[in-house]
């Protein structure tokens, strides 16, 4: 066969390709997180994601911390989505790289880097490599070729769900802000990347109840019923009582997303 002797990994800047891109992935996440850590700390001290508890109370701090942690996990997922668009297709088509081996080694490399960080290791699904480990509960939001080595950051299927991207009320609120930002007006990414950015921003803003205005509660309810037909109507559910944080949070997100996203794109174009 023509490619029977192809090497299993090529080197990029002195590292196996899987190690090089594991570094790029985790560095992108860390850079985005570091650019927002002051905001997150201020938010946890001076805001709340639950109306029923006063700011600074034990209950408020616990709920707000959980919301911020969800946002951090979403940062991981967004950049894995970006890798799935800008890096993995190039790797898959690179005849000198065994793609299956690359993905396995990449997953191991990312695991080791996250496990070595005090900030993020608690997010990991432990013991993913054990034969008796059951991660089926986590697999619904993973692409098929990621289910063999499941991890929280691989739950990117919602980024490709066109119905969800186009219908949920919070996405409609965020869409014009994204479309008029530097993310779109300068770089003009394709529609998949644009929709992924809209989903990413919407998820973070909704977690922190920081959308600029309220989603229509009836529209929100109709959207939710598509996925949970028996969900009761609750007008209070989408309230955005931290909307005064929107400008600061949105601008921070744009700055970090712009820098990291298009650095990953450029890296793929120059190294593969």
Confidence of residue 232 (pLDDT cuts 50, 70, 90): confident
Q: At residue 196, does pLDDT exceed 80?
A: yes
User: Residues 77, 81, 85, CA angle at the centre, nearest 5°?
Assistant: 170
Tell me what percent of the residues of the chain surpass a pLDDT of 90.
70
Checking if the pLDDT of 6 tops 50, the result is: no
Mean pLDDT, the chain, rounded, equals 88
Q: How far is CA 157 from CA 15, 29, 142, 147, 216, in A?
A: 30, 19, 5, 12, 26
State residue 236's pLDDT score. Answer: 54
**Residue 36 class from Cβ within 10 Å (0-12 exposed, 13-18 middle, 19+ buried)?**
buried
**What percent of the chain stands above pLDDT 70?**
88
Tens-digit pLDDT profile for residues 202-213: 999 999 999 998
Confidence check: pLDDT of 137 > 70? no
Task: Kindly calculate the radius of gyration of the chain based on its CA atoms and give it in whole angstroms.
Answer: 20
The mean pLDDT value for 190-211 works out to: 96
State the pLDDT confidence band at 239, using cuts at 50, 70 and 90. confident
The token pair at 52 is 């029923």
The answer to whether the beta carbons of residues 265 and 238 sit under 8 Å apart is no
Query: Given pLDDT bands bounded at 50, 70 and 90, which one contains residue 66?
Result: very high
The confidence score (pLDDT) of residue 129 equals: 52
pLDDT digits (tens, 9 = 90+) for 72-128: 999 999 999 999 999 999 999 987 889 999 999 999 999 999 999 988 999 998 755
Is the Cβ–Cβ distance between 237 and 220 less than 8 Å?
Answer: yes
Residue 7 pLDDT exceeds 80 = no
pLDDT at 5 over 80: no
Residue with tokens 């997010």: 123
- End-to-end CA distance of the chain: give it in Å, rounded: 24
- Tokens of residue 236, six digits: 């209070």
């Amino acid at each position: 066969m023509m490619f029977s002797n192809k090497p299993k990994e090529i080197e990029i800047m002195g590292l196996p390709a899987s190690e090089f891109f594991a570094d790029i992935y985790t560095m992108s996440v860390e850079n985005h997180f570091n650019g927002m850590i002051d905001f997150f700390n201020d938010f946890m001290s001076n805001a709340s994601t639950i109306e029923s508890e006063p700011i600074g109370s034990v209950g408020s701090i616990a709920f707000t911390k959980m919301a911020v942690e969800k946002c951090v996990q979403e940062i991981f997922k967004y950049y894995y989505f970006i890798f799935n668009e800008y890096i993995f297709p190039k790797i898959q088509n690179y005849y000198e790289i065994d793609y299956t081996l690359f993905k396995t080694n990449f997953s191991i490399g990312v695991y080791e880097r996250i496990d070595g960080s005090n900030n993020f290791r608690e997010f990991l699904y432990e013991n993913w490599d054990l034969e008796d480990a059951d991660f089926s509960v986590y697999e619904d939001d993973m692409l098929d070729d990621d289910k063999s080595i499941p991890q929280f950051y691989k739950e990117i299927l919602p980024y490709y769900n066109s119905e969800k991207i186009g219908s949920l009320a919070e996405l409609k609120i965020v869409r014009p802000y994204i479309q008029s930002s530097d993310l779109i007006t300068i770089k003009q990414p394709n529609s998949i990347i644009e929709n992924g950015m809209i989903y990413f921003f919407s998820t973070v803003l909704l977690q922190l109840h920081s959308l600029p205005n309220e989603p229509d509660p009836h529209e929100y309810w109709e959207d939710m019923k598509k996925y949970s037909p028996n969900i009761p109507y609750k007008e209070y559910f989408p309230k955005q009582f931290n909307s005064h944080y929107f400008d600061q949070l949105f601008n921070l997100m744009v700055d970090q997303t712009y820098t990291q996203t298009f650095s990953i794109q450029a890296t793929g174009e120059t190294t593969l």
